Amino acid sequence: MLQAVVFDCDGVLTDNGSSWQIIHHRFGTDNDKALSDKSTLELFLDGEISESDFVEDDIRRWKEVQPEIHRDDIVRCYSGISLMSGARDVVGELQTRGVFVAIISSGVDLFVSAIASMLKVDDWAANGFEWDEGGWLVKGLPTRVFSHNKGLMVEKLVEINGFTPAGVVCVGDSSTDLSMRIDGSRFIGFNPARQRATSAFECAGVPIVVERDLKEIWPHLYPGEPFPELSEWD
């Protein structure tokens, strides 16, 4: 029986790329540009630098452009970002059936919390920043969600709520999201973010949904059952 569905946020519940990259676009910076053999992003994806080092490098790049960054500057970065097609429908239908819905994202907490509130999910976790009393950016917070080991958060969710791994399905768009799949659980690759993700999903033998509509994951959640055509979420 399906007990919980755990979603990544960026590119899964929302129709955008990385919430970190959106900030880079705002400041005109780029962590995907190679300074030597590899870009900082590639080093991180390959597990060669830590999450905290990656975040501090991002902040350094932004502050080179704008030395003082306010919380409102970051919030404004996400203006106009829309939900992924079908996100509200799928989350609503799952909760109607009593399924626990959570977001586990290594994205920016200011963004993820807004999406969690919009979709009224049951729980969420993400990474973020430390701000001073005036709301000015100080540094990155200690890592809550490790991109290469999101399974730690899934295991906590299972333990706290008394779920069984077999009752949990995780949905993600990146190769690192595969780390959400704890022993006995299932995983659906949705809207692969890069060729790296597609290759990782194929190697892992998980279902892959390339359509940018979350309702397309439904047959993988409930085999043989199409998504209800008429629901209160339409």
User: Is 48 in the same domain as 145?
Assistant: no
Q: Is the same domain home to 70 and 185?
A: no
In this structure, is residue 214 part of a structural domain?
Answer: yes
Model pTM? Answer: 0.89
Domain-embedded: residue 178: yes
DSSP string for 34-67:
-SSSS-HHHHHHTTSS-HHHHHHHHHHHHHHH-S
What are the pLDDT digits (tens) for 145-199? 998 899 999 999 999 999 999 999 999 999 999 999 999 999 999 999 889 999 9
Sequence-ordered list of residues with C-beta below 8 angstroms from that of 136, at least 6 positions apart, any chain = 68, 69, 70, 71
Q: Do both 166 and 197 map to the same domain?
A: yes
Q: Are residues 64 and 146 in the same domain?
A: no
3-state secondary structure 182-227: CCCCEEEEECCCCHHHHHHHHHHCCCEECCCCHHHHHHHHCCCCCC
Name the DSSP class of 170: E
- Look up tokens 């990782």; give the residue: 200
Residues 182, 86, single domain; the answer is yes
Question: Could you list the residue range(s) of the whole structural domain that residue 180 is in?
Answer: 4-17+81-221
What pLDDT, in 10s, does the model give residues 102-121? 999 999 999 999 999 999 99
Shared domain check, 199 and 103: yes
Are 150 and 47 part of one and the same domain?
Answer: no
What's the pLDDT at 222? 96
Contact 60, 35 (CB under 8 A): no
pLDDT digits (tens, 9 = 90+) for 214-226: 999 999 999 999 9
Is residue 147 domain-shared with residue 55, that is, in the same domain?
no
Query: Is 86 within the bounds of a domain?
Result: yes
Residue 110 has a pLDDT of: 95
In a domain, 231, yes or no: no
Domain count, the chain: 2
Same domain, 24 and 103: no
